[in-house]
Amino acid sequence: MKNLQKDYEMLSAYIDGELHEDEIKNTEEKLAIRTDLQKKLDELKKIKKLTKSSFKIPAESPYFETRVFANLNRSKNRYKKFKTILPAFSFAVLAVLLMVFLKLNPNILQDLFETQKINIADFYKQNLKPLLLTAGLTNEDIFNFALNKQLPLDKNNKQYIKLGYDQNGKEFFEIKPAGLANEENTFEDFVSALKLNSQQKRQMDSILGSYADEMEDQILINDKNTVAISPEIWNYNKAIFADIMSFAENACNEEFVKIMPAGYRMHEKPMIDKMVKEIKSRNSNKYIFFTPDSIFMDNFEFDKEKFDDEMKKMEKELQKDMKQVKKELKDLNIEIRINDHITNFKLDSLWDDDFSVNVDSNSCRVKLSKVIIPKIDMLDLDSIAAQIERSLKHIPSFTFKFPDDNRGMNEFQFRINSEDSAALKNLDIKIKLPNLDSIMLHQSPKIDSIMRFNMKYLDSIPNYGKFNFFLDPDSFKIPTQFFTFDSLNFNQEKFEKQMKEFEKEMNKLRERMDKFQDEYYKDQKEIKKKGKKAPIEI
Amino acid sequence: MKFTKKKTGLENLKILNLDDDFSLVKRFIEEDESAFETLVRRHKDKVRNIIFITLGNANTVDDIAQEVFLTVYKNLKSFRFESQFTTWLFRITVNKCKDHLRKVKIRSVISFFKEDEEEPGYHLSYENINTAEIVQKGIAKLPEKLRVPLLLKDIEGMSYQEIAEIVKCELGTVKSRIFRAREGLKNILEPYRQELMS
């Protein structure tokens, strides 16, 4: 059956003239002997004839060509038009696709930025080392940090970090050059004012030393000019201050009372200890990173143990003592460059609106709001100063009058009357002087030294040394800057020395004048001698 | 010594026969629009015939032919010279016809209208019946895959090879389909044997 079908197909191809020579030969041989094939061949030929004859192609429309070319021209113009708008169209399509893509993946850009931020942050977080080890801070620096809230970042470059509180009581810190920092060495004054003995001094050093160790990971730096500061540094500032004051009060209460404002007492020691313990046990990984091109806040875990191990290993391997290693680390040139570039940072989402960074040519101030400070009332020198200022407003000026004839008197009495009896009661003051006349005539500078004694109370209060005293001995008021901090530091020995030098200079001048006089007389005598000769005629 | 530039086969062809299809296509690619007009004039009849053969409807022939030449115009610059231009052209024509039939089928399903005029070759009236109409009706009843090779062979006189390239199938398949088409047509026309014989 299959072969028969194939034979018929061959017949169909045969009448179409689509067979090869051997196929034709084979087919014709079969046709010669098989009648069924002959019959099928006739049928196929008839069908082919019918098909050919019955199918007439319809006539072409007279406008066919015209229409074809008109359509082509229209299409060409459309294509050209499309070509001109293709760039804009492509751009629009791309924009729409991008919008759709971003709509479907809203976090992709954020993720991208976050990844970049993390990469940059990781770069700046490398090799962070404790600042205290490299800057070689002394106990005096720690003490100054407690009192003045400033800490040198690098002694070579003389940059300081200063903590502070703004008008709203929000914490801020700023980095500024040493020229703008308070460079008073209050530690020495404090120790001498308390009259600490050597053992107490050692105890004080031990307290400060312990904080130096504790604060190691509060400020970190690396060779990429990154400074990482932990906001916990405020708490340490309070803790150190409280600890020092508590120690001072307990160690030398008598002297402590003298240097502190009247009536001020520190909290009970257990309370201070509790607060210090709480601060030391806090384990915050948050750091504010200052880098050459950005400021940001991020988590960073400083592995203190690992760092200590590394230091020990280094010490062992290099067979150098710790001082040498520290010296090498000290040579690292760390500098925070404060310039316009530092403003190109993006606020981290972790910050709220209260966070702000102010940069000028001299300093960089970062205001914070998320520093958690223990709720313990502390001695706040700033607030005490403000309190004293408020009190002083009630006595903007006061007068005291010397008796008309005060010679021989060695006791003076004057009264300060205050309108605000609640703030300051009327005060009678007696001043006894052994011999005021002699002091006024011969040793007037000593008055300054006497007053300096009184002003010790105000040593711890910055910039409140100006009082206006009005002397009215002859009903003639002379406004006088009676004493300021500068005048309090009058050095009598130095003055006497200067006067002696001045006297020497004057003696030298006198000798030169004498010499000059002698020469002058000598010249006059010679002129007189020459005058006896006859004048020369011209 | 005189140097003569060695000419490639294609250049010789170009010089000898500038009017062949390949040369015209080349000229069109080189922005000679008149070459395309020549191509249209040369092949429009064949294209129209194939459309009529495939669809069996004279009304749509010109429209489909327009579409064919528009498509050729848009795509001619990407012609790869791997086959005859006519093979490429007729394949486009057959595809356009298939697209048209598909559209008609979909439209009829959606609109519930029976579009009689779109059905291939069904314009026969039994009242005025004649041999040609009977045969045309019979051919129209053949399935497309049998009808098109049969007509390309018997009406257009194409070789099996050309048909195979246009309808994209094997040579043996074309041979088989043409035979089956003839057998089918014989069976369809069996009731009209008397009329056809007379």
Q: Convert the pLDDT of each residue in B55-112 to its tens digit.
A: 878 888 888 998 999 899 888 888 888 888 888 998 899 899 889 988 888 877 776 5
* pLDDT under 50: residue ranges of chain B: 1-8, 11-16, 114-119, 121-128
Phi and psi angles of residue A380, each rounded to the nearest 5 degrees, phi first: -110, 105
Q: Of all residues in chain A, what percent carry a pLDDT higher than 90?
A: 7
CA atoms of A383 and A261, how far apart (whole Å): 12
Query: Which range, A200-204, A205-209, B64-68, is most confident?
Result: B64-68
Structure tokens at B108: 């009829």
Mean pLDDT within A270-281: 77
**Between chain A and chain B, how many beta carbons pairs sit less than 8 Å apart?**
104
Task: Mean pLDDT check: name the lowest of A232-236, A368-372, A502-506.
Answer: A368-372
CA atoms of A373 and A152, how far apart (whole Å): 23
Structure tokens at A198: 């050597």
| Confidence at residue A10, expressed as pLDDT on a 0 to 100 scale | 92
pLDDT tens-digit map of A348-370: 444 444 555 665 555 666 666 55
Mean pLDDT within A262-284: 71
Mean pLDDT within A88-106: 89
Calculate how close chain B gets to A91, using CA atoms only, in Å.
Answer: 24
* 8 A C-beta contact, residue B40 and residue A65: yes
Neighbours of A121 (CB within 10 A): 19
Calculate how close chain A gets to B130, using CA atoms only, in Å.
Answer: 10
| Confidence at residue A130, expressed as pLDDT on a 0 to 100 scale | 79
Q: Would you call B38 exposed, middle or buried from its count of C-beta atoms within 10 A (0-12, 13-18, 19+)?
A: middle
Q: Please state, rounded to an integer, the average pLDDT across all residues of chain A.
A: 70
| Confidence at residue A24, expressed as pLDDT on a 0 to 100 scale | 92
CA atoms of B174 and B164, how far apart (whole Å): 6
Give, in order, the Cα–Cα distances in Å from B157 to each of B47, B150, B186: 14, 10, 20
Q: Chain B contacts of A53, Cβ < 8 Å?
A: 131-132, 135
Structure tokens at A64: 């066919």
Q: Answer whether B70 sits within 8 Å of A75, measured CB to CB.
A: yes
The pLDDT confidence band at residue A465, using thresholds 50, 70 and 90, is: very low
Q: Looking at residue A161, what DSSP letter applies?
A: E
Q: Name residue A431's beta-bridge partners.
A: A412
| Confidence at residue B103, expressed as pLDDT on a 0 to 100 scale | 86
Is the per-residue pLDDT at A14 higher than 90?
A: yes
If you measure CA to CA, which chain A residue comes closest to B72?
A72
CA atoms of B76 and B39, how far apart (whole Å): 11
Q: Please give the model's pTM, rounded to 2 decimal places.
A: 0.40
* 8 A C-beta contact, residue B59 and residue B11: no
Q: Answer whether A13 sits within 8 Å of B179, measured CB to CB.
A: yes
Calculate how close chain B gets to A64, using CA atoms only, in Å.
Answer: 7
CA atoms of A78 and A72, how far apart (whole Å): 10
Calculate how close chain A gets to B28, using CA atoms only, in Å.
Answer: 14
Question: 3-state class of A430 per DSSP?
Answer: strand
Name the strand (E) or helix (H) holding A152. Answer: strand A150-154
Contact B76/A at CB under 8 A: no
If you measure CA to CA, which chain B residue comes closest to A49?
B154
Query: Which range, A174-183, A396-405, B12-21, is most confident?
Result: A174-183
Query: Which range, A133-137, A177-181, B2-6, B129-133, is most confident?
Result: B129-133
* 8 A C-beta contact, residue A130 and residue A220: yes
If you measure CA to CA, which chain A residue comes closest to B197?
A46
Q: Which of B48, B73, B74, B81 is nearest to B63 (CA)?
A: B48
Q: Answer whether A18 sits within 8 Å of B160, measured CB to CB.
A: yes
The pLDDT confidence band at residue A12, using thresholds 50, 70 and 90, is: very high
| Confidence at residue A286, expressed as pLDDT on a 0 to 100 scale | 80
Residues 144-183 of B with CB under 8 A from A: 150-151, 153-155, 159-160, 175-176, 178-179, 182-183
Q: Name residue A154's beta-bridge partners.
A: A159
- Complex ipTM, two decimals? 0.78
* 8 A C-beta contact, residue A275 and residue A376: yes
Q: Answer whether B136 sits within 8 Å of A54, measured CB to CB.
A: yes
Neighbours of A336 (CB within 10 A): 20
Q: Answer whether A55 sits within 8 Å of B159, measured CB to CB.
A: no
Q: Is A158 left (phi over 0), alpha (psi -120 to 50) or beta?
A: left
CA atoms of B98 and B87, how far apart (whole Å): 16
